[in-house]
Amino acid sequence: MAEVDGASARLPYVPGFARRPMGDDAKRRGKALRAEVPRSAHAVLPPGDGRPDPVAAVEESSIGRLSELTPIRVGRMAAGPFAFLRGSAGLMAYDLASTPCTGVGTQLCGDAHAANFGLYGDARGSLVIDINDFDETAHGPWEWDVKRLVASLVLAGREIGADERTCREAAYDTAGAYRRTMRLLAKLPAAEAWNAIADEELVSHTDARDLLGTLEQVSQKARRNTSARFAAKSTEKLPEGGRRFTDAPPVLRRIPDEEAAAVAASLEEYLATLPEDRLPLLARYAVQDVAFRVVGTGSVGTRSYVVLLLDHRGEPLVLQVKEARPSVLLPYLKNVGFDPLPVPHEGRRVVLGQQRMQVVSDILLGWTTVRGRHYQVRQFRNRKGSVDPGALSAEQLDDYGRMTGALLARAHAHSADPWLIAGYCGKNDELDRAMADFAVAYADRTEADHARLLAAIRQGRIAAELGV
């Protein structure tokens, strides 16, 4: 029977499916990209001529945030160069826009530093290892996430006192794990690749045995990190029944009734964003209270609420209603040939980006609008746990790098053809060496940026509340 584009001639092409099975063609296209953008070119960090002043960049990123909280954000960024990197995704996006780009797009985390990976619980109570922060997610060049990750490993290594060889090797191993995992995923059946390595099997896949003890400790802590535990510490019983949040400033504070009512009312819109099979579950909970809670490093100053729900037994479920601002990557993606479509709702962007990258996502992810601002909604404390890169030993650093590199490749392979990226990355370590060079250079630049922030704080140019 005659074939048309690899399909039976008697069957029409069905939009949404491939015209024919891909694989070798994508691999050849990936290899061909090496002539346009040599893998060694990724080592280059162009000079910072005309680059924004890092202190001015921090100040600009605070526009639109709650002014009373921005000193806390600045203070957290001042804690060290790694912390500065965590809060300056926009500044790094400016730098990345002038680096070599293959033009191959994927769903980006947008903030893929080493502290944005961790454990969380799935619907059945099992723990999953994956990327866990998507505030800046957008469609863009895969290299950007990889470069942010490898640079963060060097900074984390320096923070724990590892020597430069160890820090560089961690970056090298991270890039190598990304490359090898992408090749592995390309060879698997599509359905197997889609669901691959999202649990403890990842440790053996990446030969990260030195991490086993640390991951077990994090797992034990994560299993205790629940809504019930948070509610027990952060709420009090009311004489008439029910519970309410207690003030614990500046991190947790009660809010005026009108503000709390607006957040609670927004949950009706949130319910409309969930799959219908989730609605009977939430219908068994009553909304009890709403409070404001400060979160993160880069997120400090944005509006973030916790909503206390109670079931018929008085058991709590806590939702987080977190402001979703436009991705800081968007102004710079156009410079490398990516022109993102208008975003109808920033909370929706965050949720869909998370679902596109994770194998298993929070079953209660949704979005809403409060007083004209966009928010994402998710479970709060659903057995989340994370490895603190700044608390690893030098011997564990490269293991952690390999694990996160593999996770990032798996996440990228959901929205990019793994054959295409694997074809470009190749079998040898040319890309790994280039990424390690870039990581060291960018870590040096970040340390200089951090030093300028400290100087600005000392001079009184920018306010900082340290140690909060």
Give the per-residue pLDDT at 386. 77
- Going by pLDDT thresholds of 50, 70 and 90, the confidence category of residue 358 is very high
Question: Which amino acid is residue 34, in one-letter code?
Answer: R
- Going by pLDDT thresholds of 50, 70 and 90, the confidence category of residue 201 is low
Range among 269-283, 284-298, 397-411 with highest mean pLDDT value: 269-283
Give the per-residue pLDDT at 1. 34
Give the per-residue pLDDT at 391. 87
Give the per-residue pLDDT at 4. 45
Question: What is the C-alpha to C-alpha distance for residues 51 and 443, in angstroms, rounded to an integer?
Answer: 16
Give the per-residue pLDDT at 379. 93
- Going by pLDDT thresholds of 50, 70 and 90, the confidence category of residue 151 is very high
In a domain, 436, yes or no: yes
In a domain, 348, yes or no: no
- Going by pLDDT thresholds of 50, 70 and 90, the confidence category of residue 130 is confident
Residues of the chain with pLDDT > 70, as a percent, come to: 94
Contacts 24+ apart (CB under 8 A), 358-362: 358/128, 358/130, 358/131, 358/198, 358/411, 359/128, 359/130, 359/194, 359/195, 359/196, 359/198, 359/410, 360/122, 360/123, 360/128, 360/130, 360/198, 362/120
pLDDT in tens, 369-405: 999 999 999 999 777 777 889 888 999 999 899 989 9
- Residue 421 or residue 298, greater confidence: 421
Give the per-residue pLDDT at 83. 96
Does residue 111 carry a pLDDT above 90?
A: yes
Give the per-residue pLDDT at 138. 97
Mean pLDDT along residues 52-64 = 95
Give the per-residue pLDDT at 255. 96
Give the per-residue pLDDT at 203. 52
**pTM (2 decimals)?**
0.93
Does residue 7 carry a pLDDT above 70?
A: no
- Residue 4 or residue 440, greater confidence: 440
Q: 81 is in which domain, residue-wise?
A: 21-220+393-458
pLDDT in tens, 452-464: 999 999 999 999 9
- Going by pLDDT thresholds of 50, 70 and 90, the confidence category of residue 199 is low
Which secondary-structure segment (H or E) carries 424? helix 418-425
Q: Count, in order, helices (H) and strands (E) of the chain.
A: 18, 15
In a domain, 164, yes or no: yes
Can you name the residues that pair with 286 across neighbouring β-strands?
310
In a domain, 444, yes or no: yes
Mean pLDDT along residues 261-269 = 98
Mean pLDDT along residues 150-175 = 97
Range among 63-72, 201-210, 212-221 with highest mean pLDDT value: 63-72
Mean pLDDT along residues 436-454 = 98
Average pLDDT, the chain: 91
Does residue 283 carry a pLDDT above 60?
A: yes
Among residues 407, 357, 341, 378, the alpha carbon closest in space to that of 117 is found at 407
In a domain, 178, yes or no: yes
Question: What is the C-alpha to C-alpha distance for residues 372 and 365, in angstroms, rounded to an integer?
Answer: 20
- Region label for 253, one of left (φ > 0), alpha (ψ between -120 and 50) or beta (otherwise): beta
pLDDT in tens, 216-225: 777 777 777 7
The single-letter DSSP state of residue 52 is: P
Rounded to 5°, angle at Cα 271 from 267 and 275: 160
Mean pLDDT along residues 236-244 = 90
Domains held by the chain: number: 1
In a domain, 73, yes or no: yes
Give the per-residue pLDDT at 390. 86
Lowest model confidence (mean pLDDT) among 117-131, 140-154, 324-338, 429-443: 117-131
